[in-house]
Amino acid sequence: MNTNFLHLLKAKKELIPLVGVVSFAAAGALFFSAYSLFSKSDVIINKSGNPEPWETLDPNKPQKLLTVHQKWKPIDELENVRKLTK
């Protein structure tokens, strides 16, 4: 099959940029998926190990790719609810 694909690209040279762009997009999607899986805290693989991972997040560390003027301060009502439920 690989030789058929190469023969097709040699015969129809206008497909080469299309194959290049699609390959680049697929590689970028794969890279970003792996990056998100290993470095982002909102991606969860094993939920049984830590059912509430958002409780351990550092509020001073930005979670978005780009954060502009984000300031964190606790909401008293939510803190009271958290204390009552634990």
Within 8 A by CB and 6+ apart from 56, the residues are: 50
Which residue would you say has higher pLDDT here, 65 or 31? 31
What does the pLDDT look like over 57-81, one tens digit per residue? Answer: 777 776 666 667 767 777 888 888 8
What does the pLDDT look like over 5-20, one tens digit per residue? Answer: 889 888 999 999 999 9
- Domain count across the chain: 1
pTM score, two decimals?
Answer: 0.53
* Angle at alpha carbon of residue 59, lines to 84 and 36, rounded to 5°: 110
Band of residue 82 on the pLDDT scale cut at 50, 70, 90: confident
Which residue would you say has higher pLDDT here, 74 or 1? 74
Domain extent, residue 26, equals: 2-85
